[in-house]
């Protein structure tokens, strides 16, 4: 039995919301903020948009953007040194999951001894963290809302997950206009990441009456608008909807937690340096198929939220329809259907190693169906072959 808990940041949502970044920094008491971003966000002009609003509130800043798509432990070390040397007192992340994860890791290391590896796992963070303000640039990662941070261990070649309510940021600023500068593939991958959050949260053992409505609303929005958002950078209705879906799915996932999709995606993404959303999209139908006996009713609800007909079929057929609807959506978006199709090399050794690591991932605790090493190997093998 899981306690029914519900924690979210202060949320500011709307077109042009990025203009609030300076005011928010001032409200959390910041005098100098450490701005974590990446070259893509900077090249798209969003840092240039944000900085005048920091200056307007007389908040000084230091910019750091030396990170990769799946941020590494040594990048966290470099960023932490830059944070301490610049004498910043708060952190602002403007970007997707990678900058936000690094920002959270820097906050941890600014307040704790040791290395980021010491804080892998659940509730290892004990000291108060610097204020954190997050401005997401994608509709999918949800890192601006959640109690998770994911950092690559460069020696073990796997992703570490940090879980702590201390990692829930102070303020999340979601501006759907930022989504208009994202390419179709990134939009598709991050949208499927949001779908995985919503579906895993809805079938999670820790799902509750608070998270359920967020999950189903997010699924409905993604089903209706992800394809439109991928098809057009300028469809503002679709961008608004996907920004809302990402936000709602992240709230659900952070509070209901997630499952085997993410437990496996962390390992595959770490090994092959795949985009996280792509890994989730490939794994999601296979994990839904595995979980089917444990959550038939919930999968039937998901099918309806995905636009499948509610009448004329029995419960089990509707539940199966959810799995096929997810496969169909990924196919429509042009996402490869297997890890082999994504260029990942299959071997029994790789399957066993990744599965053994996944079994130890904290995300597996709330998966609706028990999964041992043999089960996880089977899921991963099917995801490799499609």
Count the domains in the chain.
2
Residue among 258, 255, 254, 251 at smallest CA distance from 11? 251
Give the end of a domain, one of 125, 157, 178.
178
Read off the pLDDT band of 2 (50, 70, 90): low
Residues 232 and 134 in one domain: no
* Residue 102 placed within a domain: yes
310 and 211 in a common domain: yes
Judged against a pLDDT cut of 60, whether residue 351 lies above it is answered with: yes
Last residue of a domain, one of 149, 178, 207: 178
CA distance 222 to 242: 6
pLDDT by residue (tens digit) across 116-139? 999 999 999 999 999 999 999 999
* Alpha helical stretches, state H, 44-147: 46-56, 73-85, 97-111
Q: What sign does the dihedral 253-257-258-264 (CA atoms) show? A: positive
Helix (H/G/I), strand (E/B), else coil: 182: coil
User: Quick check: 192 and 137 in contact, CB under 8 A?
Assistant: no
pLDDT at 309: 82
Full strand arrangement of the beta sheet holding 121-122: 121-122, 158-163, 148-153
Mean pLDDT of 59-75: 96
Note whether 160 and 215 are same-domain residues: no
Residue 157 pLDDT grade (very low, low, confident, very high; cuts 50, 70, 90): confident
The beta-carbon contacts of 80-85 under 8 Å, at least 24 apart in sequence, are 80/105, 80/106, 80/109, 80/110, 82/34, 83/34, 83/110, 84/110
User: Are 166 and 259 in the same domain?
Assistant: no
By percentage, how much of the chain surpasses pLDDT 90? 95
Domain that holds residue 28: 10-178
Structural Rg of the chain based on CA atoms: 20
Same domain, yes or no, for 307 and 161?
Answer: no
Q: What is the CATH number of the domain that holds 192?
A: 1.20.1090.10
Long-range contacts of 46-50 (CB under 8 A, 24+ apart): 46/18, 46/94, 46/135, 46/137, 46/178, 46/181, 47/94, 49/18, 50/18, 50/21, 50/22, 50/92, 50/94, 50/135
Residues 125 and 255 in one domain: no
Domain end (from 118, 149, 178)? 178
Distance of CA 161 to the CA centre of its chain: 12
Instruction: State phi, psi for 151 to the nearest 5 degrees.
Output: -130, 140
For 310-341, write each residue's pLDDT tens digit: 766 799 999 999 999 999 999 999 999 999 99
Determine contact, residues 47/35, Cβ cutoff 8 Å.
yes
To the nearest whole number, what is the mean pLDDT of the chain? 96
What is the per-residue pLDDT for 55?
A: 98
2 inside domain: no
161 with 231, same domain: the answer is no
């Amino acid at each position: 039995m899981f306690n029914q808990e519900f924690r979210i940041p202060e949320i500011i949502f709307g077109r042009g919301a990025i203009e609030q970044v300076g005011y928010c920094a001032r409200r959390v008491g910041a005098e100098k903020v450490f701005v974590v971003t990446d070259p893509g966000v900077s090249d798209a002009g969003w840092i240039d948009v944000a900085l005048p609003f920091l200056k307007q509130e007389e908040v000084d800043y230091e910019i750091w953007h030396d990170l990769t798509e799946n941020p590494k432990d040594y990048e966290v070390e470099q960023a932490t040194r830059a944070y301490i040397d610049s004498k910043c007192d708060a952190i602002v992340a403007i970007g997707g999951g990678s900058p936000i994860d690094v920002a959270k890791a820097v906050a941890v290391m600014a307040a704790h001894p040791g290395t980021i590896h010491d804080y892998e796992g659940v509730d290892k963070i004990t000291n108060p963290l610097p204020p954190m303000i997050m401005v997401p640039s994608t509709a999918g990662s949800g890192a601006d809302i959640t109690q998770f941070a994911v950092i690559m261990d460069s020696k073990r070649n796997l992703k570490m997950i940090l879980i702590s309510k201390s990692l829930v940021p102070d303020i999340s600023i979601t501006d759907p206009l930022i989504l208009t500068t994202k390419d179709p593939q990134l939009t598709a991958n991050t949208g499927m990441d949001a779908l995985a959050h919503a579906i895993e949260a809805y079938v999670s053992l820790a799902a509750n009456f608070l998270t359920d409505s967020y999950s189903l609303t997010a699924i409905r929005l993604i089903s209706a608008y992800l394809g439109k958002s991928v098809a057009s950078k300028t469809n503002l209705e679709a961008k608004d909807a996907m920004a809302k879906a990402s936000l709602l799915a992240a709230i659900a996932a952070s509070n209901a937690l997630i499952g085997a999709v993410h437990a496996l995606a962390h390992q595959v993404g770490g090994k092959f340096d795949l985009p996280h959303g792509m890994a989730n999209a490939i794994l999601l139908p296979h994990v839904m198929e595995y979980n089917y006996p444990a959550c038939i009713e919930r999968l039937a609800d998901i099918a309806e939220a995905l636009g499948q007909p509610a009448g004329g079929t029995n419960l089990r057929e509707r539940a199966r329809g959810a799995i096929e609807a997810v496969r169909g959506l990924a196919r429509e978006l042009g996402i490869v259907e297997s890890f082999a199709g994504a260029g990942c090399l299959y071997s029994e050794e790789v399957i066993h190693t990744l599965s053994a690591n996944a079994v130890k991932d904290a995300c597996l605790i709330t998966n609706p169906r028990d999964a041992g090493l043999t089960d996880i190997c089977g899921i991963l093998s099917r995801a490799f072959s499609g």
